[in-house]
Structure 1
Amino acid sequence: MALALPCISACGSGPSGSSSSASTATQQDTSTDDTSTPLPSPEIPMTVQTPDTGFVTETEVLLAADGTSSPENTYSLIEAVFGEGSIEAPDFFSNDHTAIPHIIEENDTWVGNHFVFLAHRDLDFNKGVESDRQRNEIKSYDKSAAPLKGFEGETMQFEWFFFVSSEMSLTSKFSHFFQLKARNNSEDNSNGNDEQPVLTLSGVEKDSSGQELQVRHSTGNTEEGQRTDDVYLVRANWTDITDEWVKVFVQATFAEDGQLIMQLTRLRDHAVIIDIHENNIDMWRGVSEQDFIRPKWGIYRSTAQWDQLRAEEERVKFADFVVRKGRAN
């Protein structure tokens, strides 16, 4: 029997494949100026079905925008699902960019209500610390409910919709939009530690091949504490997804010889941009039963190449976050 958890849905119908019923809410216009080219109204079915992997769902948690015009309500909506303290936006830290909210809500004809994450080159820091990076993310963490955390041997699915503008500037460092991060309280390097993300979905500017959409996997630190190199699972054309809504699906079994399935599908034509099936892949960094893997979404980027980033506000959109636990066949 599935565990009953807070389930928050966007008003009206949307493209999510989730079986959770939608709640009724009053839709409000929260749009702001967006210089990206709007997509035409969809002329084909927007629904992208969840891949049939033989997964049997035991718990499911949904976070969806409801069209609120209040930043306070948007933040309350997120924390009601992922837990208090699950937002790492610049306006949450007194020494950071507190003048405006950094996660707002908008609506369009493709996915309906959705979240918009904002980034500002000259104003945003990393959780109140001015450094070579800036962060605006939401996450599950140690105070989140157990169905939002992946413990050793468990299999989880993550789904969401994602939109990034072709005007967004990238660097040769990193701009992460999704991470699977380990939580290892012991700081023990015997199994990789938790400094490096296990998995990232990123945009990167490469000198040789131009802008890339990358999926990287890391085995973590060595036993001596030295950083290991990431492994590229996918290096796709950045332009395959820009100015488009896409659906991202991830299924991961968190074990030393784990499994990773990841698909990214463009809504406009259902083109599959990323299709990863990895068996016997190291997806675990824990050393105790308290350790776990957790998801993070948003904008986490390097500012080390500051002059390559544009000064204009960056906007990355997300809709309908779904987190499931279950049994993999």
Structure 2
Amino acid sequence: MSEEPNRIDRRKALKLGAFGALAAGGLATPLPALATPAYTSAVEPRPADWALRWNPSPAVDKLQAFEGLEDDRSGSHKGVKHIHALADHWRFDMHTRDRDGSDRQRNESKGMRSGGTLHKIQEGQTWRITYQTYIPSALTATTKFSHIFQMKVQDVGGPLITMTLRERNGPKIEMLTLRDDDSNTVHSPVPLTPLQNKWIDIEFEVKAVNSGGYVRWVIKDGGRVVQDYRTTAVDMWRNKNYLRPKWGIYRSIESAGLKDCYQLIRGYKGYILQ
């Protein structure tokens, strides 16, 4: 009779599992320690808090997925279109002869549109934008600017955040942010070459406010997290209009070794935090 309670306790421990048995005081074996997450914030939003607002299809929405295009605005390459919606991705072409002014090139899309709805990033909102990009070897890092993503105030001033390909002790992907005094800060560059000639995942998370604004930047190569970086060293609101992302190629011609090149993008998604 004296052993029966022990049998019951063991049954309870097995039924509850390790966690339940610990709570009941029945097992002394500790649970394995949880790994520290790569990124945490003061209030980490649950996935259910994010509402999908933008998820265009290149086959259906085509170039209407964007608010607008900036394709050879100076007419330097007559009769040639540089931004294309293909079966399952968008393609942004750049040729060495293309010009957007005397010293630079620009073939970019801007903004997010679903059907007739234009999605504007307004003051106080938090957005998460994800997509996959393919950067070929011909799209090289340069000694001057070579941007492949920007977040700008609508038609006002320079970009608040920028992803750029820069030759700095080797080819790098860099994120730049714009501060209140209009100075740029370079954040945690990662090597470019291992990420070329394959599809990689990009994620930007932005909170559009003057005080307490932030940007989070994530790069994944397959299942490997290459970069997961968060900074508040950025002015994420300029008290004008609205914010909108831009994709494509915008680069200086004042670098050696420029080539005809392209960038591919697929799987655009835009979420708003509710």
Q: TM-score, normalised by structure 1?
A: 0.63
Q: Secondary structure at the match of 2:193?
A: helix
Partner Cα distance (1:210, 1:103) in 2? 29
For 1:121, the equivalent position in structure 2 comes to 96
Q: Secondary structure at the match of 2:96?
A: coil
For 2:165, the equivalent position in structure 1 comes to 203
Is 1:272 aligned to residue 225 of structure 2? yes
Cα deviation digits, residues 24-50 of structure 1 (max 9, x gap): xxxxxxxxxxxxxxxxxxxxxxxxxxx
Contact 2:131 2:268 (C-alpha < 8 Å) held by counterparts = yes
Partner Cα distance (1:139, 1:234) in 2? 26
Contact 1:170 1:309 (C-alpha < 8 Å) held by counterparts = no
Partner Cα distance (1:231, 1:64) in 2? 34
* Aligned alpha-carbon RMSD (Å): 2.7
Contact 2:108 2:247 (C-alpha < 8 Å) held by counterparts = yes
Is 1:298 aligned to residue 248 of structure 2? yes
Q: Secondary structure at the match of 2:89?
A: strand
Q: Secondary structure at the match of 1:78?
A: helix
Task: Specify which of 261, 283, 290 is matched with residue 236 of structure 2.
Answer: 283
The aligned amino acid for 2:200 is V
Is 1:60 aligned to residue 15 of structure 2? no
Contact 2:69 2:109 (C-alpha < 8 Å) held by counterparts = yes
Cα deviation digits, residues 287-313 of structure 1 (max 9, x gap): 5xxx211100011111123x4313xx2
Is 1:237 aligned to residue 191 of structure 2? yes
Task: Specify which of 122, 125, 149 is matched with residue 151 of structure 1.
Answer: 122
The 1:141–1:248 alpha-carbon spacing in structure 2 relative to 1, beyond 3 Å, is closer
What pairs with 1:1-329 in structure 2 (closer than 5 Å)? 53-54=45-46, 56-66=49-59, 77-79=62-64, 81-83=65-67, 86-90=68-72, 93=73, 95-105=75-85, 113-122=88-97, 124-126=98-100, 130-140=101-111, 148-183=119-154, 194-206=156-168, 209-219=169-179, 222=181, 228-256=182-210, 257-267=212-222, 270-279=223-232, 281-287=234-240, 291-305=241-255, 307-310=256-259, 313-327=260-274
The 1:146–1:180 alpha-carbon spacing in structure 2 relative to 1, beyond 3 Å, is farther
Contact 1:117 1:317 (C-alpha < 8 Å) held by counterparts = yes
Q: TM-score, normalised by structure 2?
A: 0.75
The runs of 5 or more residues in structure 2 that have no matched partner are 1-39
For 1:23, the equivalent position in structure 2 comes to none
The aligned amino acid for 2:78 is T
The 1:274–1:103 alpha-carbon spacing in structure 2 relative to 1, beyond 3 Å, is same
Partner Cα distance (2:245, 2:261) in 1? 22
Contact 1:240 1:273 (C-alpha < 8 Å) held by counterparts = no
Cα deviation digits, residues 228-280 of structure 1 (max 9, x gap): 3311122111113111211111111101221222211112xx11112112347
Partner Cα distance (2:184, 2:110) in 1? 22
Partner Cα distance (1:98, 1:168) in 2? 22
Cα deviation digits, residues 176-215 of structure 1 (max 9, x gap): 111110137xxxxxxxxx4221101110112xx1111101
Partner Cα distance (1:115, 1:258) in 2? 30
TM-superposed deviation, 1:145: 6.8
TM-superposed deviation, 1:59: 4.7
The aligned amino acid for 2:66 is F
Between the two proteins, what is the percent identity of the paired residues?
A: 24
Partner Cα distance (1:140, 1:106) in 2? 19
Contact 2:152 2:158 (C-alpha < 8 Å) held by counterparts = yes
The 1:99–1:280 alpha-carbon spacing in structure 2 relative to 1, beyond 3 Å, is closer
The aligned amino acid for 2:120 is K
Cα deviation digits, residues 81-137 of structure 1 (max 9, x gap): 334xx01112xx472313322123556xxxxx2112100012x121xxx31111111
The 1:146–1:261 alpha-carbon spacing in structure 2 relative to 1, beyond 3 Å, is farther
Contact 2:112 2:118 (C-alpha < 8 Å) held by counterparts = no
Partner Cα distance (1:102, 1:200) in 2? 21
The aligned amino acid for 1:247 is D
For 1:45, the equivalent position in structure 2 comes to none
Contact 1:161 1:321 (C-alpha < 8 Å) held by counterparts = yes
Larger Rg: 2
Contact 1:260 1:278 (C-alpha < 8 Å) held by counterparts = yes
Figure out how many residues of one structure are paired with residues of the other and give that number: 229
Contact 2:216 2:230 (C-alpha < 8 Å) held by counterparts = yes
Greater shift, 154-163 or 144-153, is seen at 144-153
